[in-house]
Amino acid sequence: MAGDSILSKFKKDEEAKAVDTSKKLRVGIIGTGWIAEAHIDSYKRMPDVEVVALADIIPGKAAAFAEKYGVPDAHIYGHHTEMLAAEELDAVSVCTYNMTHAECTIDCLNKGIPVLLEKPMCVTLDEAVAICKADKASDAVLSIGFQPRFDENMKMLKRIVQSGELGRIYYIQTGGGRRRGIPTPFGTSFIEKETAGIGALGDIGCYSLDMVLNSIGYPKPLTVSGYKSDFFGKSPDFPHHDKFGVDDFAAGFIRLEGDIILDFRIAWAMNLDTPGDTIIMGTKASVRVPSTECWNGSIGGPLVIYKEIAGEQVETIVPEKENEADCFDIKIRSFIDAVKEGGAAPVPSSEILYNQAIIDGISRSAELGREIEIVIPEI
Ligand SMILES: NC(=O)c1ccc[n+]([C@@H]2O[C@H](COP(=O)([O-])OP(=O)(O)OC[C@H]3O[C@@H](n4cnc5c(N)ncnc54)[C@H](O)[C@@H]3O)[C@@H](O)[C@H]2O)c1
């Protein structure tokens, strides 16, 4: 996931502004599972960062991680609260499974420690509101780990929408999925209710929601009619069906402020190649983002703009852009830069609150079997 391409970015950055290594930032990682590997890989390539503490509630896991990733001097803890009580940290990566995102993040923010929190932000809207309140009350930076935000093609999509070329946006379709791709490569924490809380809806659904909502400026969601199912995860053909406690498919029809319709569907498994491309329809033009086999924040081909010029129906293909560095590395670097420079959060919780409200709304509407209003308390 994390490549060494970030080095070239540093090289380029160093020409403009040398990285100040006079004081190394003392970083801690909470949760030393799969994604923590990508975090430590990035941190270890940064000359101004030192990973000094690791916490994992599974006995021996953080120590083995320290050994494997070449930080034998890092202090080892079990529960995250033990680490926070004992260490003076400049920043923390929260890399736990979804169900403990909120408590870990809020505990860090309450101690004034900046947090890079892995996606999805959390599980429920109540948790999202609690995170946003803690964020507002704290001086520390909180950034949510959406690396596709740093993809040049995603930035281009936002620029196209924000340019006004599409006119008034009135309908959006987004989502995606995998034909077979329930994630269990490193255990079952993605599929158990107690650890994940939500399935495809939160895991990959949050990315497609962020792609379109970020492009249009994150309008407030108002109502949702949601659906979710678990036919593939619960099937006896799936090896971990006895542990499966979340959704493997979800869909929602959401009304957004500004009279915009958002039609969304996401799958970890389905009898289909793709549930459709992402499309953003406007009164002057529309844009298509080709779907990928495994929707995780990439694009499946060049963006296409459809419009009418002088009475002709025309299409413009937007050339695909190369990223200067790995987006995961950029997400981590941008967080560290915000911490060092006292800058704004690269991916603020105030935006992802609406992403989480939609996820929560789809889930609750599906359970109730009817459309519901999305009510977001004042933060
Ligand atoms: N950005 C990405 O590309 C990406 C990719 C994969 C996973 N993720 C996200 O990262 C998160 C973690 O996924 P993973 O696959 O690494 O999970 P994992 O189950 O492999 O690791 C999570 C670890 O957190 C530990 N943990 C939980 N609560 C804790 C606490 N209070 N204190 C200390 N340790 C605690 C668990 O024991 C576990 O070892 C998920 O939310 C997932 O959505 C993001």
pLDDT digits (tens, 9 = 90+) for 177-209: 999 999 998 899 999 999 999 999 999 999 999
Distance 158 CA to ligand 1 centre (A): 29
Give the pLDDT mean for 329-337. Answer: 98
Which atom of ligand 1 has the smallest separation from the CA of 189?
19
User: Is residue 6 over pLDDT 70?
Assistant: no
Domain boundaries, the chain: 25-145+329-348, 148-325+356-373
What pLDDT shows up at residue 299? 86
Tell how far the Cα of 196 is from the centroid of ligand 1, in angstroms. 9
CATH of domain 25-145+329-348: 3.40.50.720
Protein residue closest via CA to atom 23 of ligand 1: 31
The pLDDT of residue 17 is 56
Residue nearest to atom 34 of ligand 1 (CA): 56
Distance 107 CA to ligand 1 centre (A): 17
Q: Residue 101 CA: which ligand 1 atom is closest?
A: 41
- Looking at every residue in the chain, the average pLDDT score rounds to 94
- Ligand 1 midpoint to CA 185 (Å): 13
The H helix count followed by the E strand count for the chain is 11, 15
Residue 19 above 90 pLDDT?
A: no
Q: What does the pLDDT read at residue 10?
A: 47
pLDDT at 5: 53
Q: What pLDDT digit, counting tens, does each position of 310-319 carry?
A: 999 999 999 9
Share of the chain above pLDDT 90, in %: 91
Model confidence band, residue 11 (pLDDT cutoffs 50, 70, 90): low
- 95 CA → ligand 1 middle, Å: 4
Pairs from 288-295 (Cβ < 8 Å, separation ≥ 24): 289/157, 289/211, 291/176, 292/176, 293/178, 293/179, 294/177, 294/178, 294/181, 294/204, 295/175, 295/176, 295/177, 295/178, 295/204, 295/207, 295/208, 295/266
Residue where the block lists tokens 């200067």: 324
State residue 298's pLDDT score: 76
Which of the two residues, 303 and 15, has the higher pLDDT score? 303
The pLDDT value recorded for residue 129 is 98
Give residue ranges with CB within 6 A of ligand 1: 30-36, 55-58, 61, 79-80, 95-98, 100, 104, 118-119, 145, 147, 186-187, 189, 203
Q: At which residue do the structure tokens 């929190």 appear?
A: 117
User: Does residue 1 register a pLDDT over 90?
Assistant: no
Query: pLDDT per residue over 99-155, tens digit each?
Result: 999 999 999 999 999 999 999 999 999 999 999 999 999 999 999 999 999 999 999
CATH number of 148-325+356-373: 3.30.360.10
Listed residue (23, 14, 3, 103) closest to 326, CA to CA: 3
Reported as a single tens digit per residue, the pLDDT across 259-272 is 999 999 999 999 99
Distance 310 CA to ligand 1 centre (A): 53
pLDDT tens digits, residue range 50-104? 999 999 999 999 999 999 999 999 999 999 999 999 999 999 999 999 999 999 9
Q: What is the pTM of this model?
A: 0.95
Among 29, 30, 34, 98, say which to mutate for ligand 1: greatest number of ligand atoms within 8 Å of CB.
Answer: 34
pLDDT at 12 over 90: no
Place of tokens 């101004």: 48
Q: List the one residue out of 318, 119, 294, 307 whose CA is nearest residue 214.
A: 119
